[in-house]
Chain A
C-alpha cells in the first residue's frame, strides 16, 4: 500500500511516498518558491536527484508537479494506488491531541487556528485543498506538530500571566516538533522494551526543543505558545527577559512586530556569532573567532539547563536522554559539551563512542555514555515523515 506524506509551507511543498507497512520511501521531493517566478523542484528517486523548474502560480500547480513526478517515474502507475495522504499541520490547538481524519470540520478548525499558526496554516490548508482536488476519494489525515504535547499537566502548560489571557485568547504552552518527539518516544519504547518510558528528548537542530516524557507521554516541553520559546536556536533567541522587546522598540524606533521578527530570524547563534548553522559556528570557533566560541557556549549551556530542569521534573527517574535532529544526530562535539555540563547529575559521556556516531559516519545511532553513567544518553535519528505516515496508515487501515 502506498501512502503520501505532504508538508506544505507558505511557498514550499515537501513530499515522500511510502510503501506501507514496509515503511520504505519510494520517491521524495521538495518543491520550492511556489508563487515566485523562479519556482523549482528536486525529486529523489532510485538514488538519483532530478531537478526541474517552471513558474508555479500556487499550491495547486505544485501538486500537479508532484503528481506528474509520481507518474513520470512510475512510482505509481495509477493514482488509485495511493491509499492515504498524511498532512503535516502545525497547530492543533487544545482540540487535537492525536492525528485525525480530515473532514470539513477539521479543515474549518485548521482555518480557525490560523491565529496560532499565522505563518504555517495558510500553506498547510493550500496543500490539503490542492491534494483533495486531485485525489478526491483518498483518505487524508492531519498530523499536528502540537498534538503529542497535549498530555502536559496544567502546571506545565500554563504561563504565570493573567488567567484571562488563557481563557480568552488561548495563551498557553503548546509545544512543537511533537511528531519528532513522538517518533523518538515510540522508537525508545521498542528499544527499551517497555511502554512507560521516562525520557529527555533533545530535538536540536536549527529549530530546537526538548521534551520531558513521563510514562510514555509528554510531560513538559521547551517551546511554548510559539516556537520562539525555550532553547537558543539557529536564528531564534529562545527564552529572554520579555522587557527587552519594549525597551529595544523604544531605543531602535522599530515596531513590536519588527523586534519579534528579529528575535525569530536575527538572533540565536546568528545574533551572537554571525552564523546560524551550528557547523559554521563550530568551524569559526576552531579558527579562533571569539563570538563563535561565546555563541556555542551559550547554546550548550541552555540545553544543559533544560536537561537539569527535566531531570528534576522526572524526579530523577530518567531511562534515557536522547539526541536527535541536525545537531543532535551529527554534532558530536555539541553532544560531548552538553553532556559534560550535566556531569553533576552523574552522567558520563563516552567520548570515543560519541565521536563515532553521526549521520555522515558509519554508525548513526547508539548509546554514547559509559556503563557507569547514571543515565544512558542515546543518539537516535528522527523521522517525522515516517511518523506522519504511520499515523495515516493506522487511521486509514482502521476505517
Chain B
C-alpha cells in the first residue's frame, strides 16, 4: 500500500510517498514560496533531484502539481493508488490524544485550536482543504504533534498559576515533537524487544524538546504551553524568568507580543552568540576561541543536561537516553559534552562510536548505567504508519458490514 505524509506550512508543503511494504520513501518533495513570488518545487525521485520554478498560486495548486508529477513520472497510474494521506498537525489541544481520521469536525477543531498555534494550525487546514479539492475521495488522517503528551499526569501538565487560567483559558503544558518522541519510543521497543523501559528522548535540533517516557507513555516533556518553553534552542530562549517580559517591555518601549517574538526568534544560540542560530556554526566559532559562542554552547549543553537530570529523577532512574534530530543525530562534540556531564549518573560513552553519524548507534559503553543511543528520527514515517493503521481499520470495519 502507498501512503503519503504531508507537512503544510503557511507558504510551503512537504510530501513523502511511502511504500508501506518496506516503509521506504518512493518519492518526496517540497513546494516553497507558495502564493509568493519565485515559487518553486524540488522533488527527489530515484536518486535524482528535480527542481522547477513555477507559479504556485495556492496550496491547492501545489497539490495538483504534485499529483501531475506523480503521474507524469509514472510513480502512480492514478490517484486511487494512494491509499491514504496523513497530515502533520502541530496542535490538537486537549481533545486529541491520538491520530484520527479527518472529518469536518476534525477540520473545525484544528482551526479552532489556532489560538494555541497561530502560525501552524491555519496552514494545516489550508493543506487539508487543498487535498479535499484536488482529490475529494482521498482518505486522510490527522497526526498531532501534541497527542503523545496527552498522557501526562496533571502534576506534570499543570502550571502553578491561578487554577482558573487552566479551566477558563486552557493554560497547561501541551508539549510538541510528540510524533518524533513516539517514533523514538517505538524504535527502542523494537530494539529491546520490550516496552517496559524508561526512556529520555532528546529531540534536539533547531527547535528542541526532551521527553520522559515510561511504558511507552509520555510522563513529562520540556516544551510547554507553547514551543518557547524548555531547553534553549536555535533562536528560542526556553525557560527564563517571566518577569523579564515586563522589565524589557518597559526598557525598550515594546509590547508583550514583540518581546515574545524576540524570545522566539532572536534568543537562544543566536541571542547569546550574536552570530548564528546553527549549532554547526557555533561549534566552529568555539574552535576559534570566540567567547560568546563558547558561552552559547555551554549554556545550551547545560540546559539539556538539566532536563536529562530532572527526568532521570522523575522516572526513578532512566534505562535509555536517545539523541535525535539535527544536533542529536549529527553533532558529535555536543553529544560528547552532554554525556560527559552525565558521568556522575554513571553514563559513559565510547568516543569512537560517538563519532558515527547518520545511523542508529549505541554510543554508550557496556558498563554505562544508562544505555545511550543515537537514532535518526522519522516523523514522516510515523505519520504514514498511523495513517495506514487508521485507513486499514476503516477498510476492515467496512468489509464486515
Contacts and interface: CB of A to CB of B under 8 A. Distances in A.
A155 to B, nearest CB: 4
Interface string B245-264: 11111011000110110110
B341 A312 contact: yes
B64 interface: no
A203 B240 CA distance: 20
Q: Contact residue range for chain B?
A: 35 or more
A171 B244 contact: yes
Interface stretch (A21-29, A341-349, A350-358): A341-349
Contact of A267 (B160, B298, B300): B160
A223 to B, nearest CB: 8
B121 to A, nearest CB: 15
Contacts of A301: 155-156, 314
Nearest to A224: B241
A251 B240 contact: no
Contacts of B267: 160-162
Contact of B229 (A163, A241, A297, A305): A241
B305 interface: yes
Contacts of B162: 262, 266-267, 271
Nearest to A344: B317
A240 B296 contact: no
A241 B155 contact: no
Contact of A240 (B242, B269, B309, B315): B242
A237 B160 contact: yes
Q: Contact residue range for chain A?
A: 35 or more
Contact of A160 (B154, B237, B314): B237
Interface stretch (A40-48, A126-134, A181-189, A226-234): A226-234
B313 A224 contact: no
A339 to B, nearest CB: 11
B297 to A, nearest CB: 9
A229 B155 contact: no
Contacts of B257: 246
By secondary structure, the A interface counts as helix
A170 to B, nearest CB: 9
Contact of B313 (A163, A246, A344): A344
B161 A225 contact: no
Contacts of B239: 239, 241-242
Interface stretch (B144-152, B163-171, B328-336, B383-391): B163-171
A311 interface: yes
Interface in B301-348: 302-303, 305-306, 309-310, 312-317, 341-345
A260 B161 CA distance: 11
A247 B225 contact: yes
Contact of A305 (B232, B249, B314): B314
Interface in A282-339: 291, 294-295, 297-299, 301-302, 304-305, 307-309, 311-313, 315-317
Contacts of A161: 237, 240, 244, 262-263, 267, 271-272
A55 interface: no
Given A158-B299, A160-B238, A301-B314, A241 B247 contact: no
A312 B269 contact: no
Interface string B342-372: 1111000000000000000000000000000
Nearest to A269: B160
By secondary structure, the B interface counts as helix
B349 to A, nearest CB: 16
A298 B155 contact: yes
A247 B268 CA distance: 21
Given A158-B272, A240-B242, A312-B309, A256 B158 contact: no
Contacts of A163: 271-272, 274, 292
Contacts of B263: 161, 242-243
Interface string B202-239: 00000000000000000000001110110010000111
A159 interface: yes
A267 B161 contact: yes
A257 B246 contact: yes
Contacts of A317: 344
A247 B114 CA distance: 12
Contacts of A360: none
B228 A242 contact: yes
A245 interface: yes
Interface of B: 115, 154-156, 158-163, 165, 168-169, 171, 173, 224-226, 228-229, 232, 237-249, 251-252, 256-257, 259-260, 262-263, 266-269, 271-272, 274, 292, 295-296, 298-300, 302-303, 305-306, 309-310, 312-317, 341-345
Interface of A: 154-156, 158-163, 165, 168-169, 171, 173, 224-226, 228-229, 232, 237-249, 251-252, 256-257, 260, 262-263, 266-269, 271-272, 291, 294-295, 297-299, 301-302, 304-305, 307-309, 311-313, 315-317, 341-345
Given A161-B263, A161-B271, A271-B161, 8 more contacts: A155-B302, A160-B238, A160-B271, A161-B237, A226-B243, A240-B161, A244-B159, A316-B345
8 contacts: A154-B295, A161-B244, A224-B244, A240-B224, A242-B263, A245-B242, A271-B163, A316-B344
